[in-house]
Amino acid sequence: MTVHLELPAIYQFPPLFTRQPNKSIRNKQIETWINIILTNCEQCKIWTITKQGDMKIIDPDTQQVTTFNIFHNTEIDRSCSPIFINEIWQMMQKQGQLLNRDGKDLKISTDSDELQTDEEFYILWKSLELWANEILDWFERTTQLNKVVTFYEIVSSEDNFNESFYSMPEPLLYQILKILVKRGRATMLKENSKYVAIKVI
Amino acid sequence: MTVHLELPAIYQFPPLFTRQPNKSIRNKQIETWINIILTNCEQCKIWTITKQGDMKIIDPDTQQVTTFNIFHNTEIDRSCSPIFINEIWQMMQKQGQLLNRDGKDLKISTDSDELQTDEEFYILWKSLELWANEILDWFERTTQLNKVVTFYEIVSSEDNFNESFYSMPEPLLYQILKILVKRGRATMLKENSKYVAIKVI
Amino acid sequence: MKKFGVAAFEDDERVYNETLKQFDKQTEQLTEQLGIFQEKLVEFANRHNEEIKSNPEFRSKFLHMCNTIGIDPLNLYVGRDKHLFTVNDFIYELSIKIIQICRNTKDLNGGLISFDELLNTYFKTLNITEGDLVEAIDLVSTLDGGFEILKIKGTKILRSVPNELTNDQTKILEVCSIMGYASVSLLRVNLKWSKVRCKSVLDEMVTSGILWIDSQTHQKEMLFWDPAWIAKSLSN
Amino acid sequence: LNKQPQSNLIIDRDKFSNQDLFLDEIAREIYDFAMIEFKDNEINNNVLIPLVDFYAMYNKAMRIGTGLISPQELKDACQRFPKLGLDDLKLIKLNKRILCLATTNSFDFIQKEILKILTKDGGLDVLKITQTLNEMANDTEKTDNDETVKRQNAAWTVSIIGEILQSCIDNGILVIDEQMSGVYYFKNNF
């Protein structure tokens, strides 16, 4: 396991990995899982997770990438079943903590076969609304209003290294910025029929 | 397969040969194996079995020897793994149904893959105590008390053809007779520093 | 081996062993005599059925003796119309026997036993019909102990554990009733289930002791066997 | 369980012209039988047994020769306990599905014992829990000076402990770790 993950003690509790039959206990169990996922993603700035639970962790020093499956605890040799994992995704989606890449609702069916291994979700440890507010705040704070700013600048400029949204994937940023457009605070600009920049007013 | 073995229907059940992951099933599975082994050994008067499960069956008419591995069902092409076989031996030893040649506890390690092919066990379809009683009874019944009787006579004399212990290997007999010595009922006699006879009082 | 009244002889092992030996010897002889005696008693019961029935005192003593020497009471019934006590004793006795069989085989079959197995393995010599079984099980089910008759592809199964089978589990048992086993690929082809669903239901059935695994197939795929196959293979 | 029944406990159906009186009598017999049968081999005299198993046990031990009783008669007889002032035993339904014969506090008692075991040692399966309970029962067993031969233990069965565990899951006290090797129980930590 990588050095960057700080997992709570309950992560070593074998029943965490079995879908509990008692419904109110299961709700707590799912809540526990969501906390584990959000806390870790936030701490390690992990923006995406695969449908199976794989997360890519980048060592800040060496830039080395480790893949870690949150739903498989190798130490105690326990895994969550795909059916239970889906239940967790569904709850996270309902609570706005998970976003499909295209911004559409997930089609999570326990009966759908052939999990596409490349299927990835965005993990929202802050809600889309909250992100939108933070970015709006940044525009105002850095006096970027009425200027065209590229998506790339927002999430990848070294000036923004200490901003909470630094390193955010651009498609996720796009979903967040759409909220500003909807609020009438911004317009987006295309290049080669793809949105690449924004002007906040 | 030889004509002498009467194996139960479950012997044709393929999963019998795979170590079952479910613990209660596995207990039942091991119990079933022990029953099969003891029943067959008793019926065919088989005294020894190798660590791999090889039993020598002697045709009573032709005296021809066939080797049969109880843990390998050629008909359905299934075998028990060495690890699982060891689990069966361990249980049999615990229940006093298996004896090492030297009378010492088996050193059955689940790790060691190098099974010594010549290693053989005695199968006790009756407990050592019970055998001791039967032999003591024979001494009394045939008025051999206070006489020196060789091990050979006991298990190989044609007079004893119908005794349950006829054809018993002498080292096993020695282990049984030791119980009579311990009870203070007998003394054993050596020849060339090897015990070969007994006097029951 | 079980000890008989150990304490009384503890100080004198020799006396104890003497006794034990004597006992073994007697046991052997007795077993033989007992066998003959049992046969005679059953014969007697059948011949003097009416007399035994009409004298409660005698009947009580007679049946106690039978029980003490280990005669299966079901052997005392020549038929449903000839019985030693009330009309229903036969069916009560059968109910008890069924309860005992279910408890003894639970670890082998997870609490599911087919009528075939009951009739062909346990009641083979007793001339008991499927109707008798149904009647006896109906009686047992009034005790609310989780006993229930299921139907898998037209075959009757007795469930003696309170865990009800899910629809998915029942479908798997239907597949097993044909081949003896199920596997992920068999289920995918026949039931059009996803891999995930197949695997999770099969695993669940192993956990609850209903299916046994077989990892030695040539297809390199794990097979999940229904132990009901064992009795079935006997009748084929 | 093939104990010789005590002579005062045998009720012959033929001696009763009235079904009602017969049921009253066997109710007393059943009560005595259960209390004697479990008296010193269950922890602190607790009885908890599925009526199905009790049916087989009682008929086998007591009623051979005096006419077996039917399941319905057993159930009816047990329902008469309160009316007859037999207050230590009653019928309870475990998990809304298994009818049991039980002493008043047996369920709570065993639940507490199980919880004690799992607090000390999490992750045991039903076999191990049952075994531990029975070992505890043996330790606390009174040894009469006269009766040096220990009685065969009519111990807790795996099936009844399984039912109690199920109920502990339903009420959220315990959680499970389900593996192919079996189900392992833990005290709820969520």
Q: How far is C129 from chain D (nearest CA, A)?
A: 20
Q: What is the mean pLDDT of chain D?
A: 81
Put simply, the answer to whether C144 touches D59 (Cβ < 8 Å) is: no
Answer CATH for C167-235 from 1.10.10.10, 1.10.10.60, 2.60.120.260, 1.10.3720.10: 1.10.10.10
Our CA-based measurement puts residue B108 at a distance from the nearest CA of chain C, in whole angstroms, of 24
Residue A131 · residue A176 · CB < 8 Å: yes
Of C99, C143, C161, the CB nearest to D99: C143
Tokens representing residue D26 in the block: 């066997």
Q: B163 and B90 share a domain?
A: no
- Domain residue limits at B192: 128-200
B44 and B79 assigned to the same domain: yes
Verify whether the Cβ–Cβ distance D159 to C161 is below 8 Å. Answer: yes
Min mean pLDDT across A187-196, B119-128, C178-187, D138-147 is at D138-147
Least confident of C98-102, D26-30, D60-64, D100-104: D60-64
End position of a domain, from candidates B123, B138, B161: B123
D149 reaches C (C-beta below 8 A): yes
Q: Is the pLDDT of residue C165 over 70?
A: yes
Rounded distance, CA B91 to CA B47, Å?
Answer: 18
How far lies B173's CA from each of B179, B186, D61, D103, D114, in Å?
10, 14, 43, 54, 48
pLDDT score, position D149: 34
Q: Where are the strands (E) in chain D, listed by range?
A: 48-50, 89-94, 98-103, 174-179, 182-187
User: Are D180 and B23 a contacting pair at CB < 8 A?
Assistant: no
Q: Is B4 within a domain? A: no
CATH number for the domain spanning A74: value is 1.10.10.570
User: What 3-state DSSP class applies to B103?
Assistant: coil
Total domain count, chain A: 2
Chain A residues whose beta carbon lies within 8 Å of the beta carbon of residue C193: 111
| Beta bridge partner(s), residue B148 | B199
Angstrom CA distances, B143 to B133, B137, B171, stand at 15, 10, 24
The model's confidence at residue D129, banded by pLDDT at 50, 70 and 90, is very high
Rounded to an integer, the average pLDDT of A81-103 is 89
3 state DSSP class of C179: helix
Residue A55 in domain: yes
Strands, E, within chain B: which ranges? 48-50, 54-58, 65-69, 72-73, 78-79, 98-100, 120-123, 148-150, 186-191, 194-200
pLDDT in the model for residue C31 = 78
For residue B22, the chain C residue with the least C-alpha distance is: C207
If asked whether residues B166 and B180 sit together in one domain, one would say yes
Section C69-75 average pLDDT:
72
CB A44 within 8 A of CB A27: no
Average pLDDT over residues D143-166: 64
Amino acid identity of B62? T
Residues B75 and B133 in one domain: no
Is the domain of A40 the same as that of A59?
Answer: yes
Same domain, A13 and A70: yes
Cα angle at C118 between C114 and C121, to 5 degrees? 120
pLDDT tens digit sequence for C192-209: 998 889 999 999 999 999
Taking an 8 Å cut-off on Cβ atoms, the answer to whether B18 and C108 are in contact is no
Closest residue in A to D185 (Cα) is A15
Boundary (domain end) residue, out of A91, A123, A155: A123
* pLDDT score at A57: 83
Tokens 């507490």 — which residue? D112
Phi, psi of A165 (to 5 degrees): -95, 5
**Is residue A20 included in any domain, yes or no?**
yes
Q: Which residues in chain C have their CB less than 8 angstroms from residue B13's CB?
A: 212, 225, 227, 229-230, 233
Residue A164 lies in a domain: yes
Residue of D nearest to A79 (CA): D179
Interface test with B, best of C9, C15, C20, C21 (most B CBs within 10 A): C21
- Pick from A11, B23, C171: nearest CA to D180: B23
Based on the fold, state whether residues A119 and A20 are members of the same structural domain: yes
C and B make contact (3+ CB pairs below 8 Å): yes
Hey, are the CB atoms on C196 and A114 less than 8 Å from each other? no
Partner D, chain A 5-24, Cβ-Cβ below 8 Å: 10, 13-15, 17-18, 20-22, 24
Q: Coil, strand, or helix at residue B40?
A: helix
What chain D holds in terms of domains, given with CATH numbers, is: 7-103 (1.10.10.10), 106-187 (1.10.10.10)
Residues A133 and A105 in one domain: no
Q: Which one of A108, A113, A114, A116 would you mutate to disrupt binding with C, by most C Cβ within 10 Å of its Cβ?
A: A113
**C-alpha neighbours within 13 Å on the C-beta side of residue C17:** 19
Average pLDDT, chain C: 82
Poorest-pLDDT segment among B173-177, C79-83, D62-66: C79-83
DSSP-derived pairing of the beta strands B120-123 and B186-191: unpaired
D2 touches A at CB < 8 Å:
no
For residue C236, what pLDDT is reported?
A: 57
Is the Cβ–Cβ distance between B8 and B74 less than 8 Å?
Answer: no
Name chain D contacts of C89, Cβ cutoff 8 Å.
67-68
Residues of C in Cβ contact (< 8 Å) with A110: 194, 196-197
Is residue B121 a contact partner of residue B106, using CB atoms and an 8 Å limit? yes
B:D CB pairs within 8 Å: 14
Sheet holding B48-50, edge to edge: B48-50, B120-123, B98-100
Confidence of residue D5 (pLDDT cuts 50, 70, 90): very low
How far CA C74 is from CA of B44, B52, C66, C79, C96, in Å, comes to 33, 43, 11, 10, 10
The CATH class for the domain spanning C91-159 reads: mainly alpha
Q: Output the CA angle B192-B193-B196, nearest 5 degrees.
A: 80
Interface test with D, best of A13, A24, A80 (most D CBs within 10 A): A13
Where does a domain end: A76, A99, A123? Answer: A123
Q: What is the pLDDT of residues B118-147, one digit of tens each?
A: 588 999 999 999 999 999 999 988 888 888
D190 reaches A (C-beta below 8 A) = yes
- Comparison of pLDDT for C59 and B178, the residue scoring more: B178
Can chain D be said to touch chain A, i.e. do they have 3 or more Cβ pairs within 8 angstroms? yes
D100: β partners: D50, D92
B87 and B35 share one domain? yes
* Subunit contact D71:C143, Cβ cutoff 8 A: yes
- Contacts with D181 from chain B: Cβ below 8 Å: 21-23
The residue ranges of chain B whose pLDDT is under 50 are: 1-3, 113-117
Contact D102, D47 (CB under 8 A): yes
Would the CB atoms of C233 and B77 count as touching at under 8 Å? Answer: no
Residues in CB range of B16: below 8 A, 6 or more apart: B10, B29, B32, B33, B78, C212
φ/ψ region of D35 (left if φ > 0, alpha if ψ in -120 to 50, else beta) reads: alpha
Distance of CA D139 to the CA centre of its chain: 19
A28 and A84 together in one domain: yes
Model pLDDT, residue D165: 95
CB atoms within 10 A of CB C189: 11
What is the C-alpha separation between A59 and C37, in angstroms, rounded?
85
Model confidence at D19: pLDDT above 60: yes
Q: What is the CATH number of the domain that holds B167?
A: 1.10.10.10
Residue C115 backbone class (left: φ over 0; alpha: ψ -120 to 50; beta: rest): alpha
Same fold, C91-159 and C167-235: yes
Q: Residues A113, A180: one domain? A: no
Provide the token pair at C112: 């599911």
Whole-angstrom CA distances from D7 to A100, C21, C89, D4, D65 are 78, 34, 21, 9, 13
- Report yes or no: A126 and A47 within 8 Å, Cβ to Cβ: no
Which residues are bridge partners to B122 per DSSP?
A: B48, B99
Q: Does residue D172 belong to the interface with chain A, where contact is any CB pair within 8 Å?
A: yes
Contact state of C200 with A83 under an 8 Å Cβ cutoff: yes
Which residues of chain A lie closer than 8 angstroms to D190, CB-CB? Answer: 10, 20, 25, 28-29, 32
In angstroms, how far is the first alpha carbon of chain C from the final one?
39
Structure tokens at C92: 């009560």
Q: Is B184 on the interface with D (CB under 8 A)?
A: no
Q: A9-61: per-residue pLDDT in tens? A: 999 999 999 999 999 999 999 999 999 999 999 988 899 999 889 998 877 77
Residues in B closer than 8 angstroms to D127, CB to CB, are 23-24, 27
Residue C76 to chain B, least CA–CA distance (Å)? 28
Domain boundaries, chain C: 6-76, 91-159, 167-235
**Cβ contact D181–B21 (<8 Å):** yes
pTM (2 decimals)?
A: 0.80
Residue D65: is its pLDDT beyond 80? no
Cross-chain Cβ contact D176/A18 below 8 Å: yes
In the structure, what pLDDT confidence band is assigned to residue D147 with cuts at 50, 70 and 90? very low
Residues A189, A103, single domain; the answer is no
- Specify if B1 maps to a domain: no
